[in-house]
Amino acid sequence: MRSAFSGVVVVVLVCVVAGCSPGGGEEGPGASGGGGESAAAAVTFARSYQEAVNGQDWQRICGMRTERYRHGTVEACVEDNAEPAESVEPSPVESGDPPLRRADGSVIPPRETAAAGGPERAETGAVKAGGAVAVPAVGDHPAGTGVLVEYEVIWPDSTSTSRKALRLVEEGDGWLVDQAEDVADSDQAHGNPIHDALARMR
């Protein structure tokens, strides 16, 4: 009887040390603290944010930033960054100064031209995101999670890859972006591009 009791005690001690789960199954990374799920959520959020940036969707961009990063309210951020809508009507161009006149003295109206478009932009490829790591506070930036995002920048005669490091911080039940930095070749050469890029203060 004493031997059987000793065996039970040994089994219980082994389970306590090994961290056996009540259901007998193995716990995956972050199963108890949510670390794995949290990192996956950060990567998904980072990809969505960069897609909004590439699409110039300032309503989404501003709503996905911290108040510090957007410098105020979402509405003010959108107003400060969104480009004015292009005119659908042709805009007149002055015909001369002074205006040109016909032989009878009437003014020749200015010729209409197509509305001017914005600056030419490259196409961007699908956004990839990954490598979520903890990053320390730097300057005004709080500690958070760093994620690397990359995508192709496609011009008619060339294609390149753009890489950015995003600093994400948890607010409430979700994430917000607090910093975005270009990842330089020198950052990648050091083997820790996310930390190096987000250590820069502007």
Q: What is the pLDDT of residues 146-186, one digit of tens each?
A: 999 999 999 999 999 999 999 999 998 899 999 999 999 88
Instruction: Return the CATH number of the domain spanning residue range 35-82+121-198.
Output: 3.10.450.540
CA distance 109 to 90: 14
Domain positions in the chain are 35-82+121-198
Query: Which is it for strands 91-92 and 174-182: parallel, antiparallel or unpaired?
Result: unpaired
**Tokens in use for 167?**
């600093």
Output the pLDDT for position 23. Answer: 37
Q: What would you report as the CA-atom Rg of the chain, rounded to the nearest whole angstrom? A: 28
**Tokens in use for 50?**
């960069």
pLDDT confidence of 58, banded at 50, 70, 90?
very high
Q: What is the pLDDT of residues 69-101, one digit of tens each?
A: 999 999 999 999 987 665 555 545 444 456 666
Q: What is the pLDDT of residues 116-132, one digit of tens each?
A: 443 467 899 999 999 99
Which DSSP state fits 86? P
- Output the average pLDDT for the chain: 77
- Burial class of residue 73, CB neighbours in 10 A (0-12, 13-18, 19+): exposed
